[in-house]
Amino acid sequence: MDELVDIVNEQDEIITQNMKSNAHSDVLIHRTVHWVVINSRKEIFFVKRALTREKWPWLYDASIGWHVLAWESYDNAIIREWSEEQGIEGWKYTHITTYLAEHPKMRHMCAVYIISYEWVLTPDPREFDSGQWRSYEEIMKIPTEKFTPDWRITLEKINSYFN
């Protein structure tokens, strides 16, 4: 589904709005969120993207990630999406960092959050092949080429949380 998103500069200041499809095709910087779901054992829930996904099929990715809609804050996006995706409310989250992710065909400002959650998560089978809980150390042993580009960067950005 195409949605209106904020187009931002490298300082994360809004400069205009455009459709998500245009932001991707024109390689404009737009906002996204990565939600790193962690349980009390400090295991991370991460997913494997479905083979049918257009971008980075069959690669490991953040617990959940989504685009921030136009005029929406990162915090509002995470609350909206977590409730919509999982139907769960009353959870705790912490903003860890925001960084500019640049790839040849995509540029976005990625806000990283850690969400504390203990129960079973059910990834949408249209988007994800599987999901699993693993320790940070186990995940970091997986070869880099098996991750989406942003997920590996996100893992490196949250390293201090686990040490």
CATH value at residue 20 = 3.90.79.10
Which pTM value belongs to this model?
0.86
> Do residues 154 and 114 touch, judged by C-beta distance below 8 A?
no
Residue 41 buriedness (CB in 10 A; 0-12 / 13-18 / 19+): exposed
Assign 85 a pLDDT band (cuts: 50, 70, 90). low
Could you report the per-residue pLDDT of 56-73, keeping only the tens digit for each? 899 998 777 789 999 999
Residue 86 has a pLDDT of: 63
Number of domains in the chain: 1
Could you report the per-residue pLDDT of 100-109, keeping only the tens digit for each? 998 888 899 9
Does 91 score more than 80 pLDDT?
no
Domain holding 77, by residue range, is 4-162
> Do residues 84 and 55 touch, judged by C-beta distance below 8 A?
no
